[in-house]
């Protein structure tokens, strides 16, 4: 998880995609990630990449990543994955 967040902190486009993924409902996130993993397996992705995708399916991991990404940068009101102010 640390590696995922570190990469996202260096690349805003990855951070946006990760925030979108971890914000999905559990079943939707799991199904979407199953499709991504299947595609990557066809292209012989490294096992650690598949492991990361599997980890993102777990609610606890998704929640921790969402929290760390939120703490890593101030909210961008132009980013559609930024939650509205409370």
| Residues 21-68 pLDDT 10s | 999 999 999 999 999 999 988 888 887 888 989 999 999 999 999 998
Which residue in 29, 8, 25 sits closest to 17, CA to CA?
A: 8
What pLDDT does residue 80 have? 60
Q: What is the pLDDT at residue 31?
A: 95
Give dist(CA 56, CA 1) in Å, integer. Answer: 9
């Amino acid at each position: 998880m640390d590696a995922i967040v570190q990469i996202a902190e260096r690349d805003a486009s990855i951070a946006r995609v990760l925030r979108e993924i971890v914000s999905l409902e559990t079943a939707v996130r799991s199904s979407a990630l199953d499709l991504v993993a299947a595609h990557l397996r066809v292209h012989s992705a490294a096992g650690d990449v598949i492991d990361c995708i599997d980890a993102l399916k777990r609610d606890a991991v998704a929640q921790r990543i969402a929290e760390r990404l939120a703490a890593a940068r101030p909210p961008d009101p132009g980013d559609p994955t930024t939650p509205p102010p409370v």
